[in-house]
């Protein structure tokens, strides 16, 4: 059986492109003595050796904010996911990375190009008087047209795996870009929930202060009536008035904070802050979701920033292979074919055809140290990505532990402050009764009222802080602590 030379060339190329110079990607080695906890408990002592992540950031996180059971929060999250412009920019960057990965894959295939204008090349030429045609006297010149319709073929044999390494790097960066998009979505959803619950806590504070002001006005009126009856002095009236007006001064501060949060939410949701409104919710703040006492450390593999750092490490490793391949010869297969004539009427006649084909080899003999510098830079970049990856993982563990500690300690603080609030209310009741019986001055009542109001505000603020800490834990875990149901297929498009 006879094998065509072209088939031999393709077979040889297939064999040689099966290998690639440069290091194959492997997980980085652990630092000496480095260990990570199996679970997040705040006081974990069972360590394991450094474990490379198996990123699962491409799994769907679902609408984790529905854990809080707040319809208005659900509406705001939908608005932000649909209209936020930073998220739109992140999606555009993801599409750019997808296109660059496809561009890198295109180098595996031969490139055909048609030269010249759509109809071909038209060239007008004049011969030199010093180079007459054979048999013509000196000084004879000719002017004529040349019609050419060429097609060029170029194909680089990937003997050393340069193209393959470039494709590996581009694909890894594409996956990292997808993880960056998931990071943007997670950060946006967390920020919307954070601002919303802070706004709800401010609404509760406003209602509390407004109701307290009404009570203080009633107290001032009663005190003034008692003064007219000669039961109390002007000092009691002045103290009641001071307490009322100092409490009234708190409302503009709360309103300013609320307005700023409302404007921030409008921006996050891609809406104009001029007429943006959040539906007033008269129900109590959402309950803090129940969190397992111990969370597996593998949950961090869903964090998109960890997944992105791991993929950038793989891309940098492939770049080292690209820089290594620059030391080896570059072999290209070039071809040129088409039709050429000096007469338009015979331009595409069969005798007007021409062709040229053959390989070319380019060997770097002296580059002034350029290739060595490129290789050293690629290796240093890889070392940088390894360090960044390790630091990202350590930061993630720290963020989760911080959130868990905050959840536990804020719960203890809330319990203690709630007990203090009960005591403050009881003390206020006693002070009011003693004042009505004329046993104490209004100063004792005012002091008890101030303590009770401050305690009410502290409890409301703690309720908001506990919800915000829950959101921080969701974000630190990469989208909650429940396993997703199905894998996302966005990367398979």
Model confidence pLDDT, tens digit, residues 409-428? 999 999 999 999 999 999 99
Spatial contact of 414 and 462, defined as CB atoms under 8 Å apart? yes
pLDDT at 372: 93
Calculate mean pLDDT across residues 135-157: 71
Calculate mean pLDDT across residues 391-401: 88
Vertex 274, ends 271 and 277: CA angle to 5°?
70
Query: What CA–CA distance (Å, rounded) separates 288 from 411?
Result: 10
Instruction: Indicate the average pLDDT of the chain.
Output: 80
What letter does residue 138 receive in the DSSP assignment?
T
Span of 88-97, 165-174, 295-304, 463-472 with lowest mean pLDDT: 295-304
pLDDT at 27 over 60: yes
pLDDT band for position 388 (cuts 50, 70, 90): very high
pLDDT band for position 484 (cuts 50, 70, 90): very low
- The residues with which 145 forms a beta bridge, in sequence order, are 124
pLDDT at 163: 86
Among 168, 188, 170, which residue's Cα sits nearest to residue 91?
A: 188
**Total Cβ atoms within 10 A of residue 263:** 16
pLDDT band for position 7 (cuts 50, 70, 90): very low
CATH, domain range 54-108+164-326+374-492: 1.20.1600.10
pLDDT at 385 over 90: yes
Phi, psi of 36 (to 5 degrees): -130, 150
Segments making up each domain of the chain, as ranges:
54-108+164-326+374-492, 109-157+330-363
Architecture of domain 109-157+330-363: Single Sheet (2.20)
pLDDT at 400: 86
- The residues with which 21 forms a beta bridge, in sequence order, are none
Model confidence pLDDT, tens digit, residues 192-214? 999 999 999 999 999 999 999 99
Strand 47-49 to 35-37 pairing: antiparallel
Query: What does pTM read for this prediction?
Result: 0.78
Spatial contact of 375 and 278, defined as CB atoms under 8 Å apart? no
pLDDT band for position 492 (cuts 50, 70, 90): very low
248 or 28: which leads in pLDDT: 248
pLDDT at 284 over 70: no
């Amino acid at each position: 059986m006879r094998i065509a030379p072209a088939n031999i060339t393709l077979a040889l190329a297939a064999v040689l492109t099966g290998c690639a110079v440069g290091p194959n990607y492997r997980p980085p080695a652990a630092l000496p003595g480095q260990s990570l906890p199996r679970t997040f408990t705040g006081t974990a002592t069972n360590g394991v050796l450094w474990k490379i992540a198996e990123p699962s950031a491409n799994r769907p996180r679902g609408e984790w904010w529905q854990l809080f059971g707040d319809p208005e929060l659900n509406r705001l999250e939908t608005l932000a996911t649909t209209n936020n412009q930073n998220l739109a920019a992140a999606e555009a960057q993801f599409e750019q990375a997808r296109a660059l990965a496809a561009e890198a894959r295109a180098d595996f295939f031969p490139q055909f190009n048609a030269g010249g204008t759509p109809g071909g090349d038209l060239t007008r030429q004049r011969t030199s008087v010093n180079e007459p045609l054979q048999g013509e006297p000196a000084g004879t010149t000719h002017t004529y047209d040349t019609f050419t319709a060429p097609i060029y073929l170029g194909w680089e044999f990937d003997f050393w795996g340069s193209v393959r390494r470039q494709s590996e790097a581009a694909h890894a960066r594409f996956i990292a870009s997808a993880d960056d998009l998931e990071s943007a979505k997670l950060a946006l959803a967390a920020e919307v929930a954070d601002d919303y619950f802070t706004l709800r806590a401010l609404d509760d504070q406003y209602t509390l202060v407004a109701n307290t002001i009404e009570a203080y006005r009633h107290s001032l009126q009663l005190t003034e009536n008692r003064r007219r009856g000669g039961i109390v002095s002007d000092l009691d009236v002045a103290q009641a008035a001071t307490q009322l007006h100092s409490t009234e001064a708190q409302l503009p501060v709360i309103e300013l904070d609320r307005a700023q949060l409302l404007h921030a939410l409008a921006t996050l949701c891609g809406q104009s802050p001029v007429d943006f409104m959040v539906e007033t919710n008269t129900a109590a703040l959402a309950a803090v979701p129940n969190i397992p006492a111990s969370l597996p450390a593998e949950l961090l593999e869903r964090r998109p920033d960890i997944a992105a750092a791991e993929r950038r490490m793989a891309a940098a490793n492939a770049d080292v292979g690209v820089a290594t391949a620059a030391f080896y010869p570059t072999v290209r297969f070039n071809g040129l074919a088409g039709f050429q004539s000096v007469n338009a009427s015979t331009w595409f006649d069969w005798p007007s055809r021409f062709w040229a084909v053959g390989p070319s080899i380019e060997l770097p003999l002296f580059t002034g140290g350029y290739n060595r510098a490129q290789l050293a830079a690629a290796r240093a970049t890889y070392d940088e990505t390894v360090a960044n990856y390790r630091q990202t993982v350590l930061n993630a563990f720290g963020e989760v532990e911080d959130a868990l500690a905050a959840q536990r300690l804020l719960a203890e603080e809330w319990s203690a402050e709630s007990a203090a609030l009960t005591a403050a209310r009881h003390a206020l009741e006693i002070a009011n009764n003693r004042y009505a019986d004329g046993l104490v001055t209004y100063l004792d009542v005012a002091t008890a009222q101030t303590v009770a109001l401050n305690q009410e505000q502290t409890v409301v603020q703690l309720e908001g802080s506990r919800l915000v800490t829950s959101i921080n834990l969701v974000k630190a875990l990469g989208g909650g602590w429940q396993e997703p149901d199905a894998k996302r297929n966005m990367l398979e498009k």
